[in-house]
Amino acid sequence: MTKTQDVAWSRPAIAVLAGLGAMLTGYITYSKLTEAQVAFCKEGAGCDLVLQSAYASLFGVPLSLFGLALYLCLLLVAVLPGIDRLRWPALFGLSLAGVTFTGYLVYLLVFELSTFCLYCAGSAVLISAIFLLTLLGHRWEQPDNLVIAGLGVVLAGMAASYGAFTVQSAQAGPVPYATALAKHLRNSGAKFYGAAWCPHCKQQKAYFGEEAMRFVPYVECSPSGQPDGTQTPACQEAGIQSYPTWIIDGRTYTGEYELDKLAEISGYQKPTAEAGKS
């Protein structure tokens, strides 16, 4: 592969992918700042859950804004003339930093939020593709130095990602009891089946509060939102006969439950500092 071939196909491809990434993160940033519902995502669904979580911002700045800045930097480095000596090292460093940070965010998505976000997945694919193009679309004269530099970027990126979110979490204080319990229920595979018209379901939701309810594994059973006897397929398959119904560890519990009782049923240990609180 010659240097001319490198420029002929890899730079335009990186520029296109970076442009797509900028549009994606720009849209998410706009939605976050205006509190608008993102497209292809219902309220309380994966993407909405992610955007409303504490991990959607870093020290008050939407996380997607950092992604937008990264994609714009990659786009500029890919298209600007007269920077041939710095172009590929810059593309390598920026894209690897993006992949490292994205990897940490995927970890949070899977193990902390336990949900799927279409936009997060799209951005992860784009930044990973840019990194692969940077590696494979250029003839690196000293690959050994590339490995050493890459290791340094990864270690620094992991430390910065973990440190930033740890500091932010410490400043925010402990996770509220209702939110911690809701996450525990979601992670344990529990399900809360209810109907929009059901007053006991509304009371059950009120026990958690609006913020924590975003993490509760809630399943809506009424397709029409009216007490007309119809059920969604998911509720029919689960054999739901009354609302609210909880299925926790394979056992069925009907009626509304206060948070402490749900914690007891699901095996959640309330932190000592939260004892006696709900």
| pLDDT tens digits for range 76-108 | 999 998 888 899 999 999 999 999 999 998 888
Residue 133 token pair: 């193009």
pLDDT at 128: 96
Backbone angles phi, psi at 248, to 5 degrees: -130, 125
- End-to-end CA gap in the chain: 64
Contacts of 176 (CB under 8 A, 6+ apart): 211, 212
Residue type, 247: I
Q: Measured between alpha carbons, how far is 83 from 79 in angstroms, rounded to an integer?
A: 9
Beta partners for 252? 247
pLDDT at 3: 43
Residues found in the chain: 278
pLDDT at 193: 95
Contacts of 112 (CB under 8 A, 6+ apart): 55, 183
What domains appear along the chain, each with residue ranges and CATH number?
A: 3-172 (1.20.1440.130), 177-274 (3.40.30.10)
Beta partners for 248? 251
Q: Measured between alpha carbons, how far is 217 from 249 in angstroms, rounded to an integer?
A: 13
pLDDT at 139: 83
Low-confidence ranges of the chain (pLDDT < 70): 1-8, 42-45, 170-175, 271-278
Helices (H), the chain: 3-34, 46-52, 63-79, 84-108, 118-136, 143-172, 177-187, 199-208, 210-213, 233-238, 259-266
CA 232 to chain centre: 27
